[in-house]
Amino acid sequence: MGKPRILVVDDSKLSAKMIEDRLAASGFQVDVAFSAEEAIANLSTPDAVLPDLVISDVVMPGMDGYQFCQWLRGNPATVHIPVIMLTSKGGVSAKVDGFQAGADDYLVKPVDPVELEMRIKVLLARMKAAQATAGRTMDASQARIISVFSLRGGVGVTSVAVNLAVALAQLWQTEVPLVDLALESGHCALMLDLKPKHSLADLADRGPEAIDDALLDGVLIRHDSGVRVLSAPPSPELADTITPTLVGTVLTMLQPQFPYLVVDTPSSFDEVTLAALDQSDVIVLLLTPEIACLKVTTAALD
Ligand SMILES: Nc1ncnc2c1ncn2[C@@H]1O[C@H](COP(=O)(O)OP(=O)(O)O)[C@@H](O)[C@H]1O
Ligand SMILES: [Mg+2]
């Protein structure tokens, strides 16, 4: 691996030069831009070599450091690059503005060079660790199936399942199916303010053999977050039509198409739930600090 590449953006030539010399002496490859506009022009060329980290001044003529940071965060190619704001603008509200613009760190000049170097190294190390984890999870050709479960009702299983699906979709900028197996009282769609026109019952009508990718895609209701809800049947009496085989087929078909699947479950060990738990890579078992809940959780673990 080559030297980490750092882009310094500062309208003061003297300040830029001081940072550049210092970082170059510490073994970094340093690029300098004297305005946010210049940096953006360089980063936007088709053959641009992206930096591993950006150090930006805040007060600059034209586009300021906050706007520049927002541009970086709004651009898919640069959204993950760590940004340190280095500025003479002190005060809590300036820092808050910096963090709100998407900065990872905020240092007030004059900064101790040793401290600057340490903060750069910490951010680079964290970035590298995050990329390694992302590579491991996202390279997997099969979705990880995450089921959320509790034998006690009302502890927040559905809330956690819905929030987990939304968080995964947003974190990885991908679609995440949320399969609602609380067949008699499912309300994943309701929690996302969706009015489902389709549900698992549509699939049960056709039978497991007749399900293809197009049919499955049609019943996964889209939410703006990227979550795709496979809703529970619209009425409780249809719950019986959903068989363990059907659910097994659906999970198996969805698995190669997405990095994650989240499953919301009812608070019982019915056959459909057991089939889903069996197929899960991760089971999130929820409990609240009450004796009754501890008792059923112990039973569930057994
Ligand atoms: N962390 C929480 N704090 C407060 N209320 C919560 C929390 N999680 C869930 N709830 C509320 O508790 C109720 C039951 O939540 P739900 O997710 O439907 O539980 P379950 O699926 O386990 O039955 C809902 O009214 C929900 O809004
Ligand atoms: Mg629930």
Nearest Cα to Cα of residue 7 among 61, 71, 62, 96: 71
Residue 158 alpha carbon to ligand 1 centre in Å: 7
Residue 215 alpha carbon to ligand 1 centre in Å: 32
Nearest Cα to Cα of residue 224 among 273, 175, 258, 281: 175
Q: Element (H or E) spanning 273, and its range?
A: helix 271-279
CATH code of 5-137, in short, is 3.40.50.2300
Look up residue 236 and give its DSSP letter: G
* Ligand 1 atom nearest residue 152's Cα: 22
Does the pLDDT of residue 298 top 90, yes or no?
A: no
pLDDT confidence of residue 78? 87
Residue 19 alpha carbon to ligand 2 centre in Å: 55
Order across the sheet with 260-264: list the strands. Answer: 221-222, 227-230, 176-180, 260-264, 144-149, 282-285
> Which pLDDT tens digit goes with each residue over 200-240?
999 999 988 899 999 999 999 999 999 999 999 999 999 99
Class of domain 140-301: alpha beta
* Ligand 1 atom nearest residue 153's Cα: 23
Does the pLDDT of residue 77 top 50, yes or no?
A: yes
> Which pLDDT tens digit goes with each residue over 136-146?
554 446 778 99
> Residues lining ligand 1, CB < 6 A?
150, 153-159
> Which pLDDT tens digit goes with each residue over 159-193?
999 999 999 999 888 899 999 999 999 999 999 99
pLDDT confidence of residue 73? 87
Q: Output the DSSP codes for 5-37.
A: EEEEE-S-HHHHHHHHHHHHHTT-EEEEESSHH
Whole-number percent of the chain with pLDDT over 90? 71
Residue 252 alpha carbon to ligand 2 centre in Å: 23
> Which pLDDT tens digit goes with each residue over 13-22?
999 999 999 9
**Domain boundaries of the chain, sorted by first residue:** 5-137, 140-301
Mean pLDDT of the chain: 91
Q: Are 265 and 242 in contact (CB under 8 A)?
A: no
Asked if the domains at 5-137 and 140-301 fall in one CATH topology, the answer is yes
Section 103-124 average pLDDT: 92
Closest residue CA from atom 7 of ligand 1: 156
Q: Are 241 and 201 in contact (CB under 8 A)?
A: yes
Closest residue CA from atom 11 of ligand 1: 156
